A = this chain, B = another copy of it.
Amino acid sequence: MRFPDVPTFRGFQAPGRFEGEVRDLEVVQGEVPRDLNGAFYRVGPDPQYPPLLGNDIPLNGDGMVSRFHFEDGRVDFRTRWVRTPKFLAERAAGRPLFGAYRNPFTDDPSAGGISRGTANTNILWHGGRMLALKEDSHPVEIDPITLETIGPWDYDGALTSATATAHPKVDAATGTLIFFGYAARGETTPDIAYYEADANGHIVFERWLQAPYSSMVHDFAVTEHHIVFPIVPLVSDLQRLKDGGPHFAWDPSKPVYLGVLPRRDPEAPVRWFVGDPRFASHTMNAFEENGRIHLDMSVGDSVVFPFFPEINGAPFDPEAAVPYLSRFTLDTTKPTDDFTQTRLSDVAGEFPRINEAYATRDYRFGYLSMQSGIPDPTMPGSYTGMRFDLIGRVDHRTGALASHYVGDASATQEPMFVPRSGATSEGEGYVIALINRYASMHSDLLILDAENVDGEPVATLTLPLRLRNGLHGTWLDSGQLADHEASRTDRPEQASS
């Protein structure tokens, strides 16, 4: 049981691996608003065992879910691993069985046939279920109160894809869940399966399509009437996997495609808009306007992940990798297949979030992690060489950026927007973010007034421990939690161990 002495597993990124709770977190600044009641969930990779192959990329750890439960000005913290089939198999064996990130050819023979999913990327609440998501596998249901694992969830057999994205969208008007799986017929296949599930969580629409090439389709975009699949040239290849190579490589010879299709239309052809190669990862939001589709994403000139190599051996370019919030606009009323890209901020940023009540519709405000300085690949505790020292709010109406500096030797994780109870406007609410404190090696939970992001924080809570970088999360308000509590008596027994 020894992790390799590399930055991925040392310093702030040293494996966490603890499960448990802290009741009533200390509030070191301000006061927790009494109108903020519910729970903030986030998940991130936290390896149960050292890498089977001696080293690993930071995205491959087992999903560790953290829950911050807010009630009447107090916050309780709990953290627990998702008991994925992989996690349970490795715990039973007492050692790692699964090899490289999304490369089953590197596994121990005893791992054959067991899902490789780590459930480490996002948390979804939909249809009365809390799901931990990883784009290479099926969701895993967890209990939103105890964080105990219920088990993999395939929508009562209706999830025919081998995979499901970690970035589904909920149509704000209907409660419909729109999601997809890529590599849907198995790793490196170009197949994409697109689903819609009604507000009760039943899949009501399914359609399959093929991407122009096999690549990471980490996120996508949904508007009132359309769905858009961004295909960026972070390509996958079965032979490379068989040769023991990395799952993804950056191929700047390939164009970017934005595949557009009308929602819930089983027949309409996919329309592929084409542009120069570039990298885009997370969607802030998308909406349509008179036949045009606006798609706001963090976009870089090149791939943001240093651990996925350039296919021709060129070195990682940290400058070109820097992502900026940008707007793709494509016009479905015109016959040409081009699209435009407009930079929305000159401050580098990623992990974009919105008021989810405005998802798929025109919106005004977005929130994201931003970086005031230049990228530094030696920066500790980062997947990318970036360190996000700002929490930003962009106002698409005015173009204004408000930002909050999270402190020296500090970085923010994904900022979460939480609407204020009874809010009457889009921007009214709080921004919640975990802050890495590198000097004191602990985490804080920061609460900002979303309409006053650059002001004094509403509250700062401190954790007596360090939560390594997570990925994404969600918020459940106290009403949703109460509904769940009322309904959970008839749920199946939870997975043990």
Chain A positions within 8 Å of B, measured between CB atoms, are 1-3, 11, 14-28, 49-50, 74, 77, 79, 91, 94, 440-442, 462, 464-466
Q: Inside 8 A of A17's CB, which chain B residues have their CB?
A: 22-23, 26, 464
From B2, B440, B464, A18 is in contact (CB under 8 Å) with B464
Interface centre among A21, A23, A77, A462 (most CB of B within 10 A): A23
- Whether B18 contacts A18 by the Cβ 8 Å rule is yes
| Min C-beta distance of A65 to chain B, whole Å | 13
Q: A1-B26, A27-B2, A465-B465 are in contact. Are A18 and B20 (CB under 8 A)?
A: yes
**A67 vs B337: C-alpha distance when bound (angstroms):** 64
**A20 vs B27: C-alpha distance when bound (angstroms):** 21
From B14, B20, B74, B442, A1 is in contact (CB under 8 Å) with B74
Nearest B residue to A22 via CB reads B18
Nearest B residue to A14 via CB reads B464
Q: A440-B441, A441-B442, A442-B441 are in contact. Are A465 and B18 (CB under 8 A)?
A: yes
Q: A441-B441, A466-B465 are in contact. Are A1 and B19 (CB under 8 A)?
A: no
- Whether A19 contacts B16 by the Cβ 8 Å rule is no
**A440 vs B438: C-alpha distance when bound (angstroms):** 9
**A448 vs B19: C-alpha distance when bound (angstroms):** 28
Q: Inside 8 A of A19's CB, which chain B residues have their CB?
A: 20-22
Further pairs besides A1-B26, A24-B94, A464-B466: 9, Cβ < 8 Å: A1-B24, A3-B26, A15-B464, A17-B23, A18-B22, A19-B20, A23-B91, A26-B50, A74-B94
Q: Inside 8 A of A442's CB, which chain B residues have their CB?
A: 14, 441
| Min C-beta distance of A11 to chain B, whole Å | 8
Q: Inside 8 A of A26's CB, which chain B residues have their CB?
A: 1-3, 15, 17, 50
Q: Inside 8 A of A462's CB, which chain B residues have their CB?
A: 14
| Min C-beta distance of A443 to chain B, whole Å | 11
- Whether B16 contacts A28 by the Cβ 8 Å rule is no
Q: Inside 8 A of A18's CB, which chain B residues have their CB?
A: 18, 20-22, 77, 464-465
| Min C-beta distance of A435 to chain B, whole Å | 15
What are 17 pairs between A and B in contact, CB < 8 Å?
Answer: A1-B24, A1-B27, A1-B74, A14-B462, A16-B464, A17-B23, A17-B26, A18-B22, A18-B464, A18-B465, A19-B20, A20-B21, A20-B79, A23-B91, A74-B94, A464-B466, A465-B465
Q: Inside 8 A of A14's CB, which chain B residues have their CB?
A: 442, 462, 464
**A49 vs B26: C-alpha distance when bound (angstroms):** 9
**A456 vs B223: C-alpha distance when bound (angstroms):** 63
| Min C-beta distance of A87 to chain B, whole Å | 11
Q: Inside 8 A of A49's CB, which chain B residues have their CB?
A: 24
Interface centre among A20, A22, A28, A466 (most CB of B within 10 A): A20
**A440 vs B79: C-alpha distance when bound (angstroms):** 22
